[in-house]
Structure 1
Amino acid sequence: MTHKLWFQTGIGILLAMLIIFMFQQIQEVFNPFVIIARTIFLPLLIGGVLFYLTRPLLHFLESKKLPRWASITFVLTVVIFTFWLIYAMIAPVIGEQSASLAKSTPEMINEGEKWVDYLLSQRDDLPPQAQDSVEKAISNVTNNVNDWAAGFGSWLLTFLQNFIQGLFLLVLAPFFLVYMLKDHEKFAPFLAGFFHGERRTWVRKTLHDLDVTLRSYIQGQLLVSFLVGVMLLIGYLIIGLDYALLLALFGMFTNVIPFLGPYLAVVPALIIALMQEPQMALYVAIIMLVAQQIESNFISPNVMGKALDIHPLTVITVILAAGNIAGIWGIILAIPFYGVVKTILSNLYKKRTEIREAAGKEID
């Protein structure tokens, strides 16, 4: 029985749960390591993303006989110039639209209150059960607004503190990028050096597969998100939607979240469209639907292919679970993390299958 796969899997799960339980009991011992991990998490994440985006350029420059240090210098120059160009082009427009949106917020709130007053005036014409539902909904909205207003001051202070800390940490991202570009070939041999024989070969292959998985996901997902943002911007400009650039950028960023991103992106656009002109909300919905159909049927299959090959139901489950565990970062990183785990388990299964087949041939 000990050689059965289900028995070994069950024992592995039980041991993993036991290890997690023991870590929880002595978590204070690991607090310094947690603080260090949180400190380097953001710059390491940004450096890793930039590494996968710029590595093709590095390899191209080196193929032209350019030294490694000169290639890295050129890559950093391109990255800095690109960010500066983007900032110079869109920062003034975003600032203007953000200021306009802030000024228009009280008017939008008044419009929302008019809609609520209208619903209240029509409440008596509704059936008793519908009246109770409307009253509960309005009460919940009112309570949530009051709670949000009460905690807005502390939230704003926390946000400013985290923003300043984030800006400081972003300075570390270029350092991670430089060392990743400089020594990325040494990582796999270093880890594989702890093993021998076939295990070393398996570790090298698994690390290569992980690299392909992360590269395909990061490069593909960012390109897809950029193209979706461009499509939304074009559509919003055509219909004359206010704050088009701001809403398109929001849609581009939220599209990084698989499956749920488009639904998050359309909410503020629908609200602003309703306040601007009610029928424009229909146009916004059509634009989002067309953009998502183009993205899912033409762009993603050609850009990302089957980089992760995850079922949509699995995507939803993983994202919801990760969101409850780790918040917004869990939602953003859930799918690539799942892809990494899936790649490791797939390689383990293939290795086990090869061993069993080899053992069977020896018996024969």
Structure 2
Amino acid sequence: MINIKVNDKLKNSFKPMITIFTIILLFYFKFTRDVIFVFFMAFILSYFLKPIHLSISRNGKYKRLCAGVLVLTFFSAIIFVIMFLLPLIVRESNNIVGTLAVMEKYIQQINSKMESMRGNKLVQSVIINISSNSENYIKTQGEKIVNLLIKLGHSSLEYSIVPIVVYYILADSELIFKRLTMMISPNYRKVYKEIFSDIDRILSKYIICQFILCSIIAILTFIVLAIFHIKYPFLLALINGFFNIIPYFGPIIGAIPAILVAALQSHNKVIYVAIFLYLIQQIEGDLISPKITGEFVDLHPMVVLLLIIIGGKVGGFIGMVLAVPAGVILKILYEDINYYLF
């Protein structure tokens, strides 16, 4: 009888580790990676909608109905916005591909003009390296834009199940939580509930705050580009706002396309655009972000940089996006385990 209890405890203790290991293993297979990514999108969106769902179903009644109405309203609004903005995005994307081709020719012209400097081997070597790298980068970016649009079209069927998954996460969150607690040893279930509650609270705040910050950056970028009459302001603003989700590196990556397009239009405009984009990032980093995020993301900058580098090596762009929230979760786990168990 004692052996049976011990075996049950061992099984319950190893269940979470087996589950985590299985998810990590499956992530390395392309098919399961795509499926996991779809569920990950649904998970993020459900966290974003969770506060609204809780506010409209406070008494617990009609929880499923509220979840259904909320999901239907939210995704109907998204479809409406996509139908309205998609032609603009496609048109600006096609124009950017054309602009990249112009940039490629411009670099080739510069390279041909530098032929007169053949006498200086060092200068010639530097020029050849810069021009070839720039040309390769421009070709790659053009191909990436086209491939991204094609991939989004092919993946539309996969993404169509996201609203269904979001609905079930919102409607059955308590049931899902109970099922997860059954995987934990009874001796540690109370501790697990406390830790999960802390992680749930922090993740919810983090996701909503990142959405607000990225939206602010996108809006301010659009205003700056529109004021200086830079081409493709909407698409470039979306790119800058999207990449802002990655700390430190994201703002630099997101600003490069806008600066390149401005450089093609005017040498004076590119200086003003670069200055204003820098000011936007400084305002966001020093004033807006601390006010919105508060102290719940309390990680040292060196730790954040290390997490981003590791995340990039492990999971590419998605890894860089998930690096900081993963670090925050590990920090919560460390602090809560120390508090509750030691």
Residue matched to 2:128? 138
1:257, CA displacement in angstroms? 1.2
1:282, CA displacement in angstroms? 0.8
- Contact 1:43 1:176 (C-alpha < 8 Å) held by counterparts: no
- Contact 2:221 2:237 (C-alpha < 8 Å) held by counterparts: yes
Residue matched to 1:334? 323
Q: Which deviates more from structure 2 when the two are superposed, residues 207-216 or residues 168-177?
A: 168-177
Q: Would you say 1:273 and 2:268 are equivalent positions?
A: no
Residue matched to 2:7? none
Query: How many correspondences in the alignment?
Result: 321
Counterpart of 1:312, as a letter, is P
- Contact 2:255 2:277 (C-alpha < 8 Å) held by counterparts: yes
Residues 123 and 340 from structure 1, CA distance in 2 versus in 1: closer, same or farther, beyond 3 angstroms?
farther
- Contact 1:72 1:178 (C-alpha < 8 Å) held by counterparts: yes
Residue matched to 1:11? none
Residue matched to 2:36? 41
Residue matched to 1:309? 298
Counterpart of 2:186, as a letter, is H
Identity %: 22
Residue matched to 1:349? 338
Residue matched to 1:322? 311
Counterpart of 2:40, as a letter, is L
- Contact 1:52 1:215 (C-alpha < 8 Å) held by counterparts: yes
Residues 296 and 119 from structure 1, CA distance in 2 versus in 1: closer, same or farther, beyond 3 angstroms?
farther
Give the secondary-structure state (helix, strand or coil) at the position aligned to 1:82: helix
**Cα RMSD for the two superposed structures:** 3.3
Residues 231 and 32 from structure 1, CA distance in 2 versus in 1: closer, same or farther, beyond 3 angstroms?
closer
Q: Would you say 1:85 and 2:75 are equivalent positions?
A: no
- Contact 2:100 2:139 (C-alpha < 8 Å) held by counterparts: no
Give the secondary-structure state (helix, strand or coil) at the position aligned to 1:279: helix
Counterpart of 2:63, as a letter, is R
1:216, CA displacement in angstroms? 1.4
- Report 1:50-89 matches (<5 A): 50-63=45-58, 67-89=62-84
- Report 1:186-335 matches (<5 A): 186-193=175-182, 194-197=184-187, 199-335=188-324
Which stretches in structure 2 are left out of the alignment for 5+ residues? 1-16
Counterpart of 2:132, as a letter, is T
- Contact 2:243 2:251 (C-alpha < 8 Å) held by counterparts: yes
Counterpart of 2:71, as a letter, is L
TM-score, structure 1 normalization: 0.77
1:159, CA displacement in angstroms? 6.1
Residues 303 and 148 from structure 1, CA distance in 2 versus in 1: closer, same or farther, beyond 3 angstroms?
closer
- Contact 2:104 2:135 (C-alpha < 8 Å) held by counterparts: no
Distance 1:123 1:311 in 2: 49
1:32, CA displacement in angstroms? 9.9
Give the secondary-structure state (helix, strand or coil) at the position aligned to 2:76: helix
Give the secondary-structure state (helix, strand or coil) at the position aligned to 2:296: coil
Residues 35 and 215 from structure 1, CA distance in 2 versus in 1: closer, same or farther, beyond 3 angstroms?
same
- Contact 1:236 1:284 (C-alpha < 8 Å) held by counterparts: yes
The structure 2 residue matched to 1:102, chosen from 97, 100, 105, is 97
1:209, CA displacement in angstroms? 0.9
Larger Rg computed on CA atoms: 1
- Contact 1:210 1:343 (C-alpha < 8 Å) held by counterparts: yes
Distance 1:134 1:257 in 2: 37
TM-score, structure 2 normalization: 0.82
Residue matched to 1:358? none
1:324, CA displacement in angstroms? 1.7
1:32-72: CA deviations, max 9, x gaps? 99466414212111111110111111112113776112201
Distance 1:156 1:54 in 2: 30
Residues 351 and 98 from structure 1, CA distance in 2 versus in 1: closer, same or farther, beyond 3 angstroms?
same
